[in-house]
Structure 1
Amino acid sequence: MKVLVTGSSGWLGRHLVPMLRDAGWSPVGLDVAPGEQTDVVASVADQNAIAALFCRHDFDAVMHGGALHKPDIARFPPQAFVDVNVSGTLNLLRAATARPGARFVFTSTTSLMISQAIRDERATKAVWLDEDAGPLEPRNIYGVTKLAAEGLCRLHHLEHGLAVVVLRTARFFPEDDDTITALSGPNLKANELLHRRATVQDVARACLAALDRAPQIGFGLYVVSAPTPFTRDDLGALKADAPAVIRRLFPEAEALYRRAGWRLPQSIGRVYNGGRITRQLGFVYRTSFGDILEALRCGDPAPIDHDPNYGSPILRASQAEAARR
């Protein structure tokens, strides 16, 4: 069966396309920048290009991961986010709806769940974030447009019967955080696996699980984040003294971190719960914080992808366009 994969030159796409191929799918990669897994260089915002692509291929599914992301806010105006994240998604949904029996998987973001109050950590305890969290008050144009795109996905299921699964993915980018600099990239990513990150490999595998189950689900929305060891009962303590909670759950953690020259988080203000996708789809994450500690214990490389020099396809495309001028 043939699947269109948008964002195929990106970090997720370069892992997802080979997995799809290994699973028996015939992927066609679409991105604004060339890449090893990209067959067509075009924007999802180009309605004519999308229509022509669907005319050439009889797609059974769309795996939509192409988007402008949060770091792009500094590089692109709000209209670009609307064009790519909203209009681009609408272009794909319309084309998929015209294919009887097609299925659609949309990679959204947990970022749209973060209001300014949550971002500022104004609460006296950590905030528990799952699929039922709300009201949703995205704090920037990235979150606003991704939430709008989710609404379009839901609408096309309700009005046209399109089988759609929305995946709100936690952090999985390989580059350094653009706001947090107190910890090294690998240290920060290891900490985040406790409460707000997944490996790109697990995110790609979640996309495959969603693609397989979409016809049975009809419409589904799932948070994708590595299994957190915390419960709601830990939320107050996590905000006040996160190391104490971590020591209780992982007695070796502090010593292993000290040996690596790392530091545990002192306070945790939010916890993503990505368990529903396991309960409803049978998806099993392969990497958690416990695997980080096991690697440190054995002296092995931590199962974290870190590349401080990684640049997104949209940035590469913009740089190439500027060089041509």
Structure 2
Amino acid sequence: MRVLLTGSSGWLGRFLAPMLREQGHEVIGLDVASGADTDVLGSVADRPLIDRVFGERGIEGVIHAGALHKPDIARYGRQAFIDVNVTGTLNLLEAATAAVHDRFVFTSTTSLMISQSIRDEAGDAAVWLDETSGPIEPRNIYGATKLAAEHLCRLAWAERGLPCIVLRTARFFPEDDDTHRTLSGENLKANEMLHRRLTVEDAARAHIAALERAPVIGFGVYIISAPTPFGRTEAAALKNDAAAVIARHFPDAPELYASKGWELPRSIGRVYDSGLAERELGFRCETGFAAVLDALRAGHDLPFAHDPCYISPKEVGAA
């Protein structure tokens, strides 16, 4: 299949493109920044460009991973988010519909599920988040535009019959958190593998699973995150003494963390449940928190990427 991959020069794209080729697909990469897997330079907001790519390249399926992200809020205005994340998605959906495609995969984010009240973590128990959680009240322009794009995907299926799979991916970025400074980057990422993170490799594999299943499912929204070891009945304990809960599941975690000079989380305020993706997409992340502990025991490299100096290729090109 000839697959148009937007965001092909980005962090996800550089892992996803080779995996798609390994599956026998021909990848046509589109990005505003040049890269090893990018064939077309340009923006998804440019409708004539999108129409030309579809016409000249014989596109048969789309994975739309290109977007402006949360860190871009400091660099771009709201209109840019609307142009890229909303209008760009509409351009691709309309082109795919016109080409009578049977699959469209959209990279969304769990960030849009986090209202200000959830972010404040004022309750006495961790918030358990799955695809039924709501109301959805994004707290910034990034989340608002991603939610709008999700609805465009839903309408493309409901009104035009274009099978669309929306993947609300948890965190997999390699750079440091731009709001959290109390723990080292690796320590924080390791902790997040318990409840709100996955590896970029697993994120790429989820997109391939979605591409395969889209014609059968029609439309679906799925949280993609490393499987949490916790259950809903532990929500209150996680909020009040997360370290104790973790030690019950992983008895040597405190000692392994201490040997690294790390800290276990004292409180966990929200947990992403990726169970629906496992049941309907047949997808489960290969790497979880247990793999982090395995690496610490063996003295091996950690199973997730950490690069505090990472800069988006689009910003490198603009510098």
TM-score range, shorter chain: over 0.9
Verify the 8 A CA contact 1:170 1:196 in the aligned structure 2.
yes
Cα distance in 2, alignment partners of residues 97 and 316 from structure 1: 34
Amino acid at match of 1:107: T
Q: How big is each residue's C-alpha offset from its partner over 1:204-224, in whole Å with a ceiling of 9 and x where there is no partner?
A: 000000000100011111000
Distance 2:93 2:238 in 1: 41
Q: Deviations over 1:220-239 (max 9, x none)?
A: 11000000001111111111
SS of match in other structure, 1:14: helix
Identity, in percent, stands at 63
Asked whether the 8 Å contact 2:102–2:214 carries over to 1, the reply is: no
Instruction: Report the 3-state secondary structure (helix = DSSP H, G, I; strand = E; otherwise coil) of the residue aligned with 2:12.
Output: helix
d(CA) in 2 for partners of 1:268, 1:160? 42
> Are 1:68 and 1:314, in contact at CA under 8 Å, matched by a contact in 2?
no
**Could you say what secondary structure the match of 1:147 adopts?**
helix
> Please, what TM-score do these two structures have when normalized by structure 1?
0.97
4+ aligned runs moved over 3 Å, structure 1: none
Unaligned runs of 5+ in 2: none
Unaligned runs of 5+ in 1: 320-325
1:130 and 2:148 correspond: no
> Is the contact made by 1:109 and 1:170 (CA closer than 8 Å) also made in structure 2?
yes
1:292 maps to: 292
Residue 244 of structure 1 corresponds to 244
**1:253 counterpart residue number:** 253
The Cα shift of 1:314 comes to: 2.9
Q: Which residue of 2 aligns with 1:184?
A: 184
Alpha-carbon offset, residue 284 of structure 1: 2.6
For residue 159 of structure 1, report the CA deviation from its aligned partner. Answer: 0.5
For the residues of structure 2 that align with 1:283 and 1:231, how far apart are their CA atoms?
A: 19
Aligned-residue RMSD, C-alpha = 0.8
Q: In the aligned structure 1, how far is the partner of 2:94 from the partner of 2:271? A: 35
State the partner residue of 1:263.
263
Paired residue type of 1:6: T
Report SS of the residue matched to 2:18.
helix
C-alpha separation between the residues in 2 aligned to 1:250 and 1:218? 39
Question: Shift in Å at residue 16 of structure 1?
Answer: 0.1
Q: 1:256, 1:293 within 8 Å by CA — same for their partners in 2?
A: yes
What SS does the aligned partner of 1:11 have?
coil
- Match of residue 310 from structure 2: 310
Alpha-carbon contact 1:194-1:229 (below 8 Å) kept: yes
Q: How much has 1:313 moved relative to structure 2?
A: 2.7
Q: CA deviation at 1:301?
A: 1.1
Q: How far is the alpha carbon of 1:298 from its aligned partner? A: 1.0
The 2-side partners of 1:143 and 1:172 are apart by 16
Task: Please tell me the residue identity of whatever aligns with 2:127.
Answer: V
Asked whether the 8 Å contact 1:2–1:58 carries over to 2, the reply is yes
Are 2:17 and 1:53 aligned? no
SS in structure 2 at match of 1:284: coil
Amino acid at match of 1:285: C
Amino acid at match of 2:282: G
Count of residue correspondences: 319
Structure 1, residues 154-204: CA drift from partner, whole Å, max 9, x if none?
A: 000001100100000000000000011111111110000000001000000
* One-letter code aligned to 1:308: P
**Range with greater deviation from structure 2 (307-316 or 111-120):** 307-316
CA drift at 1:302 = 1.2
The range that moved more, 302-311 or 83-92, is: 302-311
1:109 paired residue number = 109
- The answer to whether the 8 A contact 1:59-1:102 is kept is no
304-313 or 202-211: bigger deviation: 304-313
Match of 2:219 in 1: 219
CA contact 1:125–1:236 (8 Å) conserved in 2: yes
Say which SS state the counterpart of residue 38 (structure 2) adopts.
coil
Letter in 2 for 1:140: N
Worse overlay, 148-157 or 176-185? 176-185
TM-score by length of 2: 0.99
Query: How far apart are the structure 2 equivalents of 1:304 and 1:116?
Result: 28
- C-alpha distance in 2 between matches for 1:104 and 1:91: 12
Distance in 2, Cα, partners of 1:79 & 1:215: 33
Give SS of 1:153's match.
Answer: helix
Which amino acid in structure 1 is aligned with residue 200 of structure 2? V
CA distance in 1, matches of 2:305, 2:275: 23
Give the letter for the 2:118 counterpart. Answer: I
CA distance in structure 2 between the partners assigned to 1:191 and 1:178 by the alignment: 16
Q: Distance between the aligned counterparts of 1:34 and 1:249, measured in 2?
A: 45
Shift of 1:316: 2.4
Distance between the aligned counterparts of 1:87 and 1:280, measured in 2?
29
Residues 58-79 of structure 1 show CA distances to partners (whole Å, capped at 9, x for unaligned) of: 1110000000000000110000
